[in-house]
Structures are given as structure tokens and as C-alpha cells.
Amino acid sequence: MRMRRWATLCIATVACNGAAQKQGTPTQTIRVLVVTATQGFRHTDAIAASKERLTADAAPDMRFDFTEDPAALNTRTLQQYDVLFLNNSTLRITPPNPRDSVSVASVKWPRTGLANPVTREQQEAIIAFVRDGKGLAVVHSGADAFYGWSEYRDMVGGGLFQSHPFTREARVTVEDRNNPATSHFGPSVTLKEEYYYLDHDPRATSHVLMSLDLTSVGDTTKTDHPLAFIRRYGNGRVYVNVLGHFADTWRRDDYLKSVLQGIRIAAGRLPADFSTR
Ligand SMILES: [Zn+2]
């Protein structure tokens, strides 16, 4: 009966923990809820490529369940997972005062309206999930989301998407070469990407793993643009990587590895230095 249940689960999920089973070690699968729902811009190609890569048995120690339904963000669903992965999901919250135009604008409400914005109750479920010890992973336009929700801004280090002045090949400086999400890159890595500038530098509240080398794009402003970082939120862990605009980025093994390792850090399965500098 137990075997049968496991087999059923295995069929229902994307990746089964075959390696751990074979070794006979009781390694627990990392259960990841991957949200690709969009209420703002949709990175159609990147989302498709990410699903391809994540479902291609890239990580036998993880189980990925994908959802396009923002309503899945609730306490009952979240309690089945170790990590919430906001993968290019551009979600919006309910305006605090739907009749006030300033309030509506503050959450970047689309002109077309929205059927199911994320409610305050759902926001509290996400806050509790991370604060009480689980993991949050945010990739690319997961930072172009949840405007007007102060706890989310705090969770991701204080900055949300402001602009993307450079969409081209550029050099990324690897600031922490010991971190498992970046140790495979070497001192720097060159990527063709859409480079986000956030509206607030997360460095003061986060441990920066990678940042944009401004000399490689001819930006002489001497500003600071972290691209990947980790931080604690209550008892939980947060991994943010604002790279991931292009499908080709997802097709790079080094990028995929960094995201998978970031998810493992968020799940608390890999040790990492969370200190700020
Ligand atoms: Zn983008």
C-alpha cells in the first residue's frame, strides 16, 4: 500500500527522487511550487524554456509543481511545499482602496483590470510561509511584481524593478565565489540578458552573490546593481536572481545550476553565508 501510494505520487509529480531511493538514504525531496502566473508583462519564451529545463530531471532531489493560478497562493496549498518559486510571475495585489486612483496606481493595476489579484489574506499566507521557516525563490520579473505590498518588498531585499537600461551581452561580477549558487562561474560570467536596475539597492539587507560590471555596459554612474542575492526573512530564506529574461539564459547549464542551487539554499538544504557587507 505504501509502495503504491509512492508510485501514484511519483506519476503525479514532475521529478521523483530516484537517486535518493537507489542509495537508500532518506533524503527528503524539496517540494517546490513554481508560480508562472502573470498579471503584468509575460515572458512567454522564458517561462516555456524554464519549464522544459526544470522538468527534464535537472534536479532529482526536487519536485516541481507548476501553477498558472494565483489563487494557489494560500495557506492550505503552501503548507505542502518547502519553497515558493516566483518564476517570472508578475502578480498584482488588490489595491488598498480600489476607488482611489492613487491607490490603484500604487499597485500598478493594469488598465484592462484583473480578475483575481492577490488578496491581503493571500499576502499574509505568503509572509507566514517564509517567516516561519520556508523558502522563497524569485527570478527576473518576480521582482516586477507585488507593488504596494511593503512586506514583499522587505522579503526581496527592499528593491523592486525600476528599469532595464541594458538588454545585451554584459559581464557579471561573481562577488561570492564560495556560495554554492555561484561557485561554478569563476570570477565573472558574460551573459546576454535584460539587466534590471532595482528602485532600491538590496545590498544593505542582503548577501550579494552577483552584480553587474558597469564597465561592460559603459554605465559611468558608479551605481550598484546586485543581480543575485540571498537573505533571511524571519526563520526563512530568500533567494533572488533578477537574470532570466531570455529562453536562451534558461538553456545555459551554468544559469540553470545557479537557480537550482539557489532553490536548495532557500529550502535550507545547502549552507550559505547570509552576512551583509
Ligand atoms: Zn524581462
Predicted local confidence at residue 112, as pLDDT: 85
Predicted local confidence at residue 58, as pLDDT: 79
Ligand 1 centroid, distance to 32 Cα (angstroms): 22
Predicted local confidence at residue 113, as pLDDT: 85
What's the domain count of the chain? 1
Distance in angstroms (rounded) separating the CA atoms of residues 78 and 111: 30
Would residue 165 count as lying in a domain?
Answer: no
Predicted local confidence at residue 115, as pLDDT: 84
Average pLDDT, consecutive stretches of 10 residues, N- to C-terminus, the chain (277 residues): 41 43 67 97 97 90 96 98 98 92 92 90 98 98 97 98 97 98 98 98 98 97 97 98 98 97 98 94
Would residue 277 count as lying in a domain?
Answer: no
The pTM assigned to this predicted structure is 0.90
Ligand 1 centroid, distance to 198 Cα (angstroms): 13
What are the CA-CA distances from residue 117 to residues 93, 155, 197, 220 (Å)? 5, 19, 25, 39
Ligand 1 centroid, distance to 29 Cα (angstroms): 30
Predicted local confidence at residue 266, as pLDDT: 98
Ligand 1 centroid, distance to 163 Cα (angstroms): 10
Ligand 1 centroid, distance to 254 Cα (angstroms): 19
Would residue 183 count as lying in a domain?
Answer: no
Would residue 19 count as lying in a domain?
Answer: yes
Would residue 71 count as lying in a domain?
Answer: yes
Predicted local confidence at residue 25, as pLDDT: 54
Question: Can you read off the three cell numbers belonging to residue 156?
Answer: 526581496
- Give the residue among 197, 50, 58 at the shortest CA–CA distance from 137: 50
Ligand 1 centroid, distance to 73 Cα (angstroms): 23
H-type alpha helices, the chain: 2-12, 18-23, 44-55, 75-78, 101-106, 120-131, 150-155, 247-250, 253-266
Would residue 13 count as lying in a domain?
Answer: yes
Ligand 1 centroid, distance to 237 Cα (angstroms): 24
Ligand 1 centroid, distance to 189 Cα (angstroms): 19
Contact 63, 85 (CB under 8 A): no
Would residue 174 count as lying in a domain?
Answer: no
Would residue 181 count as lying in a domain?
Answer: no
Predicted local confidence at residue 3, as pLDDT: 41
Distance in angstroms (rounded) separating the CA atoms of residues 126 and 195: 27
Looking up cell 542575492, which residue turns up?
229
Distance in angstroms (rounded) separating the CA atoms of residues 199 and 196: 10
Ligand 1 ion: Cβ-proximal residues, 5 Å cutoff: 194, 245
Ligand 1 centroid, distance to 5 Cα (angstroms): 40
Ligand 1 centroid, distance to 245 Cα (angstroms): 4
Cα angle value 69/73/75 (rounded, 5°): 145
Domain coverage including residue 126:
3-159+228-267
Question: Can you read off the three cell numbers belonging to residue 90?
Answer: 508578475
Q: Which residues of 219-230 are buried (b: 16+ CB within 10 A; e: fewer)?
A: beeeeebbbbbb
Ligand 1 centroid, distance to 153 Cα (angstroms): 19
Distance in angstroms (rounded) separating the CA atoms of residues 206 and 201: 9
Ligand 1 centroid, distance to 222 Cα (angstroms): 23
For the domain that residue 19 is a member of, what is the CATH number? Answer: 3.40.50
Ligand 1 centroid, distance to 179 Cα (angstroms): 25
